[in-house]
């Protein structure tokens, strides 16, 4: 029985699969959440200040991770881009936290 081919769809980054603002907590694990929809499956690459920063990989968070990340999804039908702002919350003691800071808060896409 032949399987019907899925229609070709260009990449799409949206708020459901790549939120424009994400909150991490200093000293805990953080993951840049950014996936794309499309067919064929798009490749997603993210960077901060021109340095690659893989999405979907947990890593220990410090206040240096605050800022704007540029994510790009690509497949043979095109490209979609999005800026993602990461806010890092600092822990100053039991029950006390706040925003450490964020830089370069431009927004694209």
Q: Which domains, and CATH codes, for the chain? A: 9-95 (2.60.40.10)
* Per-residue pLDDT at 102: 45
65-91 per-position pLDDT tens digit: 999 999 999 999 999 999 999 999 987
Higher model confidence: residue 82 or residue 5?
Answer: 82
Confidence (pTM):
0.80
Contact indicator for 65, 86 with CB cutoff of 8 Å: yes
Q: Identify each DSSP E strand in the chain by its residue range.
A: 9-12, 21-25, 29-30, 37-39, 43-48, 51-52, 59-60, 67-75, 78-93, 96-101
Contact 57, 20 (CB under 8 A): no
pLDDT at res. 1:
73
pLDDT mean across residues, the chain: 87
CA 108 to chain centre: 13
Taking residues 13-37, report their average pLDDT.
96
């Amino acid at each position: 029985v032949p399987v019907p081919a899925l229609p070709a769809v260009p990449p799409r980054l949206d708020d459901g699969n790549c939120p424009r603002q994400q909150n991490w907590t200093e000293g805990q694990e953080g993951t840049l959440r950014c996936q794309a929809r499309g067919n064929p499956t798009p490749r997603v690459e993210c960077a901060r200040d021109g340095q690659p920063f893989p999405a979907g990989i947990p890593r220990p968070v410090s206040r240096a991770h605050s800022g704007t990340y540029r994510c790009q999804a690509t497949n043979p039908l095109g490209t979609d881009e999005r800026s993602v702002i990461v806010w890092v919350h600092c822990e100053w003691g039991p029950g006390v936290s706040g925003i450490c800071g964020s830089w370069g808060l431009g927004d694209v896409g």
